[in-house]
Structure 1
Amino acid sequence: MQLLAVGLNHTTAPVSLREKVAFPADQIGQAVASARAWFGRGASSLASDEAAILSTCNRTELYAANHIPGGVEAAIDSTAHFLAQYHSLPYAELRPYLYTLPQENAVRHAFRVASGLDSMVLGEPQILGQMKDAVRQAEAAGGLGTYLHQMFQRTFAVAKEVRTTTEIGAHSVSMAAAAVRLAQRIFDKISHQNVLFIGAGEMIELCATHFAAQNPKTLTIANRTLERGEALAHRFNGHAIRLAELPDQLAKYDIVVSCTASSLPIIGLGMVERAIKARRHKPMFMVDIAVPRDIESEVGRLDDVFLYTVDDLGAAVQTGLENRQAAVAQAEAIIETRVQSFMHWIDSRAVVPVIQELRETSEAVRMAELERARKLLAKGEDIDIVLEALSKGLTAKFLHGPQQALHNAQGDERARLAALLPQLFRTKR
């Protein structure tokens, strides 16, 4: 069994590539099934192959446990080819940006991700919820088996331990707070600005919370479903509009923050050019947190537009990093201990088939000797003689294999067997 993680994140790949490899939320289940089918080609059994996919604005990762012939390197290569094939990308274009983590490195990575150690915002809590969602989707698609189920259960337990026993989340600056800080560089007072949020998901809710604290002049939610937009806007004393109204309404807003699950840009260059003209070139601050991006990258070239992507927020969120280094070291120590514990469990799983076979063989021997004893009793043999024969027969059958192995072995192999057998049979030398 090869346990592995293959993916890319904000440290290994630019947003222009991450958006090509992102999995829309409504396609995760289908992608998990496709991954298992991909692994199930050839000698591997689809029933035993496992897969889970985590896809956020900062990362896309495929976790797998499979039995692909050729060992862990072949499994990693197959997984990387799956990501390229699924997204119709040239393998040579994608491969340099992928990290490939086998066995305990995959486990360590999952523990670190869930604990917030691998995030753009060190210690941020959103990733744990995103990982739990990914696991639920994988389970619903039949992607979780013995190994990934156990790994993710331990992942969540480790994340809880890290967050409750360390200060890894202390002093952190969220993406939402960073967006507010950047906006304040453009506009002296956000209280004088009209703010538009596009989408109604968790990230938009966080951003709206931070901007609402600055008491903007107006706050608007644009969403494909008006009812959901209105529900969110009501919390911040704002109002909602439909996405279809954006072309006519965009010019009204000084600050625009977008984060939807759309696979295509919602705001194009032409739409923004018309808005800037209508605003008589008054500056517009735009933040695109979505992956794939909601705002065409060409918009950033306009003189009166300040466009920031999720990657552009990276530097701003490093504030307070020094204060968290002690917590990081403590968290890493916890994770390392839990990784070794999980790998010990993995090793123990390797002998399960051997133990099962041993039990089945022993049971067959026991039943054969028991049947022989019953026949003797049926013939009227004395019960003490039958029990004596039964015990001797069982002993002889169980010792036959070890005795033969010891007799046939030579040199160092015989010495190892001679040292091992007393431990197996708990005898004194």
Structure 2
Amino acid sequence: MVIDEEHAYRVCSARDARFDGCFIHAVRTTGIYCRPSCPAVTPKRRNSQFFLTAAAAQSAGFRACRRCLPDAVPGSPEWNLRADLAGRAMRLISDGIVERDGVTGLAGRLGYSERHLTRVLTAELGAGPLALARAHRAHAARLLIETTELPFADIAFAAGFASVRQFNDTIRMVFASTPSDMRGRGKAPVGTPGRIVLRLPYRAPFDAEGLLLHFRAHALPGVEEVTADSYARTLSLPNGEATVRLTFPADHVLCSLRLADMRDLGAAVSRVRRLLDLDADPAAVDEFLGADPVIGPLVRETPGVRVAGSVDGAETLLRLVAPFTGVPLRVPDGALTHLYSAGNHPLTEALASGGLVVDVGRSIEDLTEELTSLAGTAVADEVAMRVLGAPDVLVLPHSARHLTSHGPEWRPWRSYAGAHLMRKAATS
């Protein structure tokens, strides 16, 4: 992806928040990088430089703006739309694979050598996998510094740093501050002991009611709990179990996490964001679908519809094909008492053996082809849409199957057209 720098500068001059997270604006004279909507005085064009990622800006020697906190924005919708190597790598890095398995593990999951992966990411994104992972660790560390009272040594290892010294050096380099200063500026932790409460940003508009309708229709007792204005569920994360409770104030999602292992914070946040489709660009989707004579009235009636995603690829697949069982939580959390588990099924065995992998590192084409042969087209499409965030998969409610032939008119946003029709069917 190449940035149109003249357009990017106009966006920054207008302080257009719709582009926050889509690119980074760096200022040569100050050595600071910002989100596009930063309220500071816009620098002259000749002093502006633009990057696709915070990692690229950091690698070029820039540090994060303390005023606009450029890492506290929705992620780029590019990583959901792109099915290429860079997009797949970014999704896995966001899930914390480099902290768990190193660059070797990331390259192995993607099926490339470390050298080729580094070359592609550097050319496409301006930073290699180590720099991208470091930016991810810095973001996770900032969240823990500002929202918990954990000792800094515990935060360092929970965020994935190899040592306290590496943690301190990275915080100073990225934020031009010390952990102690950042904690002093941060807001006091909210909630009860043992829980981390975060504000998850998104691009407005955001149809929380539509997501709650979807979750309510598919909720599993013990694993999920849905009320009129909240959603909660259990999570099986790389280092242990967890629970998450989500509420939906006017301009953000309030996310309350209980983690058995703090190292899972980054993965938990990444998976919740994908579950709620928080990095989508609703303006682009609504502008296109709103002009369609069939779906347009629904878009105008309910803007900002999201496609419900997934917190676990294997779970999403098995919920479609296998009977539900459950594994008791070691520590129940109210109505949340069980982790998801499935009964006997050939796909359960294939997933357990590693013969079948369903995660954000798969390409849409490869996973769809594999699942079509194993479980059929309908299951393959549903999994691609929810696990990989594929924006152009047509999944319709039974009441709207007669519109299948109209599907080509909704490209490249057929997943969102289907979500509008699903929402309409759920309220009719």
What is the TM-score of this pair, normalised by structure 1?
0.30
Per residue, is there more helix in 1 or in 2?
1
Larger radius of gyration: 1
What is the TM-score of this pair, normalised by structure 2?
0.30
